[in-house]
């Protein structure tokens, strides 16, 4: 566990990063197309190991055919597979979204449960998916740890953890609850656009002055966690 002094230092670094990034990435909405919580939940389950663009391409038809939990719960899984077959892991995902819709209907009357713990009891819903729904539908603090987010917060020295659940714990400890959803969105965006996995653009990065991993021309580079 970080000492009190270290925790305050990390808290200040996270706040400074948030200030910088929030001005650069003012649009913090999820790129996944959806009209309601059910659609956001399904789209997020489908987004594992697949790009948001690919998910948006299949959900238009999927949501037209199955607009709510009741219709998807009654769906033929093979028909669902056909609709989503262009995305990775489509067989598992088809099974999961049909089962998830069934549980939503049976246990929550077709509504989205109101907290992260309850969301994670649904088939196919891990903490990342639950945090997306919390942040973008329920209006709760969400810390969405995907590959981009994890990489950037490690490079910023805000955590040394690689396990997504532990990364989430560390970030929740240093970022104010009211800022966690925005922090997740802007850090994710920064990871996609600037702090990229193979070629981080440190020379163009607004966070370089506060980043212990910054690799700048004419200066000794920091260590660069993946």
**What is the binding site for ligand SF4 (CB under 6 A)?**
152, 155-156, 194-195, 200-202, 205, 207-208, 211, 213-214
- Of 111, 167, 137, the residue nearest 43 (C-alpha): 137
Taking Cα atoms as reference points, which of 103, 135, 47, 125 lies closest to residue 62? Answer: 47
Distance of closest approach, residue 167 Cβ to ligand SF4, in angstroms: 15
Least spacing, CB of residue 21 vs ligand SF4, in Å: 10
Residues 100 and 45: beta-carbon distance below 8 Å: yes
Residue 146 annotated in active site: yes
> Which residue's CB is nearer to ligand SF4, number 122 or number 195?
195
DSSP 59-86: HHHHHHH--SHHHHHTS-HHHHHHHHTT
Q: How far is the CB of 179 from ligand SF4 (least distance, A)?
A: 18
Q: How far is the CB of 187 from ligand SF4 (least distance, A)?
A: 9
Q: Which is nearer to ligand SF4, 88 or 225 (CB)?
A: 225
Please indicate whether residue 9 is annotated as part of the active site: no
| 94 neighbors 81 (Cβ within 8 angstroms) | yes
- Closest Cα partner for 205 from 217, 196, 213, 195? 195
User: Which residue among 9, 52, 68, 146 is the active-site one?
Assistant: 146
Choose between 105 and 158: whose C-beta lies nearer to ligand SF4. 158
Nearest CB to ligand SF4, comparing residues 17 and 119: 17
Going by C-beta distance under 8 Å and a sequence separation of 6 or more, which residues neighbour residue 84?
46, 58, 62, 90, 93, 94
Kindly tell me which of 62 and 207 has the beta carbon lying closer to ligand SF4: 207
Helix extents (H) in the chain:
4-24, 37-46, 52-65, 69-73, 77-84, 90-108, 116-119, 127-133, 147-155, 164-174, 180-193
Q: Please name which of 69, 100, 66, 68 lies closest in space to residue 83, comparing C-alpha atoms.
A: 66
Rounded least distance, CB 103 to ligand SF4, Å: 39
List phi, psi (to 5°) of 208: -55, -40
The set of catalytic residues is 128, 146
């Amino acid at each position: 566990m970080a000492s009190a002094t270290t925790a305050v230092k990390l808290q200040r670094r996270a706040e400074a990063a948030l200030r910088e990034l929030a001005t650069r990435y003012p649009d913090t909405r999820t790129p996944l197309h959806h009209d309601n919580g059910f659609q956001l939940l399904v789209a997020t389950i489908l987004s594992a190991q697949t790009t948001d663009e690919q998910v948006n391409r299949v959900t238009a038809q999927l949501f037209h055919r199955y607009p709510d939990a009741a219709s998807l719960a009654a769906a033929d899984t093979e028909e669902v597979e056909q609709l989503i077959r262009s995305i990775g892991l489509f067989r598992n995902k088809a099974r999961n979204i049909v089962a998830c819709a069934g549980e939503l209907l049976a246990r929550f009357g077709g509504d989205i449960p109101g907290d992260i713990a309850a969301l994670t009891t649904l088939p196919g819903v891990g903490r990342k998916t639950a945090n997306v729904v919390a942040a973008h539908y329920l209006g709760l603090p969400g810390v969405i740890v995907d590959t981009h987010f994890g990489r950037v917060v490690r490079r910023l020295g805000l955590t040394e953890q690689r396990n997504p659940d532990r990364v989430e714990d560390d970030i929740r400890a240093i970022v104010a609850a009211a800022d966690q959803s925005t922090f997740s969105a802007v850090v994710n965006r920064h990871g996609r656009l600037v702090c990229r996995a193979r070629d981080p653009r440190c020379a163009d990065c607004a966070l370089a002055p506060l980043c212990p991993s910054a690799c700048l021309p004419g200066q000794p580079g920091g260590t660069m966690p993946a």
